[in-house]
């Protein structure tokens, strides 16, 4: 079972080297914030998502797309 979880929440205060390495792997050039998870949850709870069922939504700043090049292409072809 998947759940919303803020990746590296608070990391910028505890480990600068690790935070910098994480930022280097994201397309958005920043760490995720708790608000990023909250916005995704609010969307899924809204009427705008009323026809969405049974998904895992990656709220990761595209880190998985950057770490696994070609992964998205493999799924769509």
Q: Name the residue range of residue 28's domain.
A: 11-76
Residue 72 confidence (pLDDT) above 80? no
In a domain, 36, yes or no: yes
4 domain residue, yes or no: no
Q: Is residue 54 part of a domain?
A: yes
The rounded distance, in Å, linking the Cα atoms of 23 and 61 is 9
Distance CA 77, CA 71 (A): 10
Mean pLDDT along residues 8-25: 66
Average pLDDT, the chain: 74
Indicate whether 44 belongs to any domain: yes
Q: Is the pTM of this model over 0.75?
A: no
Residue 51 lies in a domain: yes
8 A C-beta contact, residue 65 and residue 71: yes
Whether 1 is covered by a domain: the verdict is no
42 — pLDDT class (breaks 50, 70, 90): very high
Q: Classify residue 2: in a domain, yes or no.
A: no
Higher pLDDT among residues 13 and 42, named by residue: 42
């Amino acid at each position: 079972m998947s759940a919303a979880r803020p990746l590296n929440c608070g990391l910028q205060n505890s480990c600068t080297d690790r935070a910098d390495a994480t930022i280097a792997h994201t397309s958005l050039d920043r760490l995720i914030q708790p608000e990023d998870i909250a916005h995704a949850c609010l969307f899924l709870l809204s009427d705008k998502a009323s026809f969405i069922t049974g998904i895992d939504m990656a709220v990761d700043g595209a880190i998985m797309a950057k770490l696994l090049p070609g992964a998205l292409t493999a799924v769509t072809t």
